[in-house]
Structure 1
Amino acid sequence: MITRAGVHSVILCDLSRQGASVLARQAFGCSGPAVLQWDRHEFFGDIQWGNGGRIGILFDEPLPASVLLEARRQNEVAALPDDREIVRQQARGWVQGVHRL
């Protein structure tokens, strides 16, 4: 993901035609425009919310259904090896009151 604060490696947690939710290893306190990139795709939008390392993006234009289906197929065969640990860290932080999801 590219923002005014720089380039960030994130995990795509939720994807819809209108937006996405991503997890960053650590919060980077940015709002405003963002570009979400994966594989050969690049989508522009605005960061709508952020809480800890979890960030919500609203896309400028709805994604084509074909992109959603492709992302779903990719997720089934190519999940990141450490994404569960990042989710665990986020959940642990929420339980401890560090941030809310």
Structure 2
Amino acid sequence: MPGRRADARVRLHIPARLVLLTGTQQCFLEDLSVTGAALIPQDKLPAEGASAILQCEHIEAFGMVRWARHGRVGLMFDEKLPLAQVVSLRHIADSYEANERERNMERARAWVQGRSKIL
């Protein structure tokens, strides 16, 4: 299918930053390949064709917004990322998910025990 990414992706859902000419915004990195990424920005969607930098953990990738719709953004990198960086981010994502589950459980315990009013 034309326009589709041929490289394998890793599913992540970890915090990242998207740096644009209009400013920096927090986002979640949904998936990543050596050639691009899908992101969920916390603010408004950047314009298609905008230059951007994805920053997440040890990765800083320059690219262009290829699509922006339904609350998601597709970023195509100027240069391929090393596969080892993509794989290492998958391991970080696994740890992040486990830690986030534990934090949520602790928040729920604190709320049930009356130690906190916020979940």
TM-score scaled by length of structure 1: 0.72
Q: Which has the larger radius of gyration?
A: 2
Question: Which residue in 1 is equivalent to 2:36?
Answer: 19
Query: Contact between 2:41 and 2:72, CA under 8 Å: does it hold in 1?
Result: yes
Question: Which residue in 2 is equivalent to 1:71?
Answer: 89
Q: Distance in 2 between matches of 1:37 and 1:62?
A: 15
**Which structure has the higher relative contact order (CA within 8 Å, separation 6+)?**
1
Question: Which residue in 2 is equivalent to 1:38?
Answer: 56
> Structure 2: which 5+ residue stretches go unaligned?
1-17, 101-119
> Structure 1: which 5+ residue stretches go unaligned?
82-101
Q: Distance in 1 between matches of 2:59 and 2:93?
A: 15
Q: Deviating runs (4+, > 4 A) in structure 1?
A: none
Query: Contact between 1:14 and 1:20, CA under 8 Å: does it hold in 2?
Result: yes
Question: Which residue in 1 is equivalent to 2:19?
Answer: 2
Instruction: Count residues in correspondence.
Output: 81
Query: Contact between 1:45 and 1:57, CA under 8 Å: does it hold in 2?
Result: yes
Per-residue CA deviations over 1:32-78 (Å, capped at 9, x if unaligned) read 11000011321100000001420000000111011011111001111
TM-score scaled by length of structure 2: 0.62
Q: CA RMSD in A?
A: 1.6
Residue identity opposite 2:92 in structure 1:
Q
